[in-house]
Amino acid sequence: MLTPPRTVVRRDGGLYALERALQRRGFRHVAGADEAGRGACAGPLVAAAVVLPEGRRGEIDGLADSKLLTPASRERIHDEVVARALAYAVVVIPAEEVDARGLHVCNLAAMRRALASLTTRPEYVLTDGFGVDGLDVPGLAVWKGDRVAACVAAASVLAKVTRDRIMVELDANFPGYGFAEHKGYITAEHTAALREHGPCVEHRFSYVNVAAISGREGRPPRSRRPAPDGRHEPMARSAAAGGTVGVALDEQPRPPAPVGEDVVMEGGER
């Protein structure tokens, strides 16, 4: 019995090489999934899934990892992905659900829901960084997938633009935190606002920096969140916030990747 030849994807093959290789092996509809907001301590977690068409129609000028793009480029590419994609889906997980279920559980569930919502059923799934179980099609977790596979990069742009738009809206409802600028990530300005005003209902109280500032360090009950009508009410908090900022209590801290405009947002340096 003959063994089918291996599919080799060259490192220098470009952003579309992996999808094209899979399509040559019979997987016509390749879906990519990615998320935005995992490292933020305020606002929702957003996941997206995209199936790009085969051939030239699926090639989008300037498509790249959303963190490497300017806001204007992301908006343009977002609109092109929406116009060209065979199918796309976006799932928004509010901060309250992240607190109740845990970050990693919500992350997997959001990508699973986005993939299940695609109107074109994928025949193969590519995800960024780690695999998603519970799918009825083969898949591959790709390290830095948003820089390796076009469909994953497209999903990263949809997730990032959707979340950024939400954070701008939240900035109008919760002034004083600067959500429109830092999008809920741990910047010096956000930390100062947290210490001055205390957390609002859009913060993730399962994150150690929010828990410490609100006086809930030491694994506080996830269900103990402020009522929506008390979003600006001062809350008792400890004088000094200990621990690693921007990390969910159930997760190990990971150093941020120093790339793109989100460097400062993720805690790195330009």
Beta carbons within 8 Å of 174's beta carbon, 6+ residues apart:
200, 202, 231, 232
Q: Is the pLDDT of residue 169 over 80?
A: yes
- The pairing of beta strand 124-128 with beta strand 87-93: unpaired
User: Annotation-wise, does 35 bind a ligand?
Assistant: yes
Q: What pLDDT does residue 152 have?
A: 95
Mean pLDDT value across the chain = 80
Q: What pLDDT does residue 148 have?
A: 87
User: Annotation-wise, does 133 bind a ligand?
Assistant: no
Q: What pLDDT does residue 65 have?
A: 78
Q: What pLDDT does residue 8 have?
A: 55
Burial class (CB in 10 A: 0-12, 13-18, 19+), 213: buried
Q: Which domains does the chain have, with CATH numbers?
A: 16-162 (3.30.420.10)
Q: What pLDDT does residue 262 have?
A: 40
Tell me how far apart the alpha carbons of residues 60 and 88 are, in angstroms, rounded to a whole number: 15
Who has greater pLDDT, 238 or 63?
A: 63
CB atoms near residue 124 (< 10 Å): 23
Q: Is the pLDDT of residue 258 over 60?
A: no
* Arithmetic mean of pLDDT, 140-156: 90
Q: Is the pLDDT of residue 223 over 60?
A: no
| Residue 31 β-bridge partners | 51, 125
Q: What's the pLDDT band for 217 if we cut at 50, 70, 90?
A: low
Q: What's the pLDDT band for 165 if we cut at 50, 70, 90?
A: very high
Q: What pLDDT does residue 254 have?
A: 35
| Residue pLDDT, tens place only, 172-188 | 999 999 999 999 999 99
Interhelix angle for 71-84 vs 150-173, to 10°? 120
Contact assessment for residue 209 and residue 243, using Cβ atoms and an 8 Å cutoff: yes
The least confident of 107-121, 220-234, 240-254 is 240-254
User: Annotation-wise, does 250 bind a ligand?
Assistant: no
Q: What pLDDT does residue 216 have?
A: 60
Q: Is the pLDDT of residue 87 over 90?
A: yes
* Arithmetic mean of pLDDT, 86-102: 95
* Arithmetic mean of pLDDT, 68-78: 93
* Exposure letters 150-178 (e unless 16+ CB within 10 A, then b): bbbbbbbbbbbbbbbebbeebbeebeebb
Q: What's the pLDDT band for 13 if we cut at 50, 70, 90?
A: low
Q: What pLDDT does residue 199 have?
A: 93
Tell me how far apart the alpha carbons of residues 139 and 159 are, in angstroms, rounded to a whole number: 20
